[in-house]
Chains A and B, each alone.
Chain A
Amino acid sequence: EDQVTQSPEALRLQEGESSSLNCSYTVSGLRGLFWYRQDPGKGPEFLFTLYSAGEEKEKERLKATLTKKESFLHITAPKPEDSATYLCAVSNNTDKLIFGTGTRLQVFP
């Protein structure tokens, strides 16, 4: 069964303290891996798509990487406004997205 596991469940960082979020997946025929950010009371906001192992994408303080078994979302020098839940999802050969349960990130000033 296709599955996505994210770790840690929650992460508390001091402002400026860099860290990484992990997304490990088991999927039959990975077609794409997606990262989203979700703020309380809002829908998930699309961040990145990665399609093949070795691919990397960057946006401001965020950098996503992909291997054959997992993806990392690296956060460099985070700010309080980066506080959110970060969701990882994979698409298989059925077009639907399979989501992990997310990592709740809190960044303190």
Chain B
Amino acid sequence: DSGVTQTPKHLITATGQRVTLRCSPRSGDLSVYWYQQSLDQGLQFLIQYYNGEERAKGNILERFSAQQFPDLHSELNLSSLELGDSALYFCASSVRPSNQPQHFGDGTRLSIL
């Protein structure tokens, strides 16, 4: 058990809808990262937060947004969903933002019908 909690485990929705994925980092970790993993691609970095502030952005679509709250949990919001957004979404956390091992949750599997 990595200590990173993601909910829900599975999400099934339709095109055009909006969903929110939630992540609670390991106790003591201040940095949170979001990744997307689809069948034909590896883990793709989306966005990073550190102590409530956005720190780095990857290839995150404009339809996607995230935030980190004062209690350090994070939410990833996906809107105007398309079939191609079906994937596993992972959250990871680390103590500090730089060059630290990241510890991953077990992901949310998003299926768009």
- Chain A residues lying within 8 Å of B2, measured Cβ to Cβ, are 43, 45-46
Indicate whether B8 reaches chain A with its CB closer than 8 angstroms: no
A83 to B107, CA, bound (A): 20
A36 to B43, CA, bound (A): 12
> How many A-B pairs with Cβ below 8 Å?
58
Q: What 0/1 pattern do residues 44 to 60 of A give for CB contact below 8 A with B?
A: 11100101000000000
Taking a contact as CB atoms closer than 8 A, the residue among B41, B90, B101 that contacts A34 in the complex is B101
- Chain B residues lying within 8 Å of A44, measured Cβ to Cβ, are 43, 90, 104
> Which range contains the number of B residues in contact with the other chain?
20 to 34
Q: A45-B2, A46-B101 are in contact. Are A99 and B42 (CB under 8 A)?
A: yes
Indicate whether B45 reaches chain A with its CB closer than 8 angstroms: yes
Q: Which of A17-75 contact B (CB under 8 A)?
A: 31-32, 34, 36, 41-46, 49, 51
Residues of B within 8 A of A (CB): 2, 4, 33, 41-45, 48, 55-56, 58, 90, 92, 97-99, 101-107
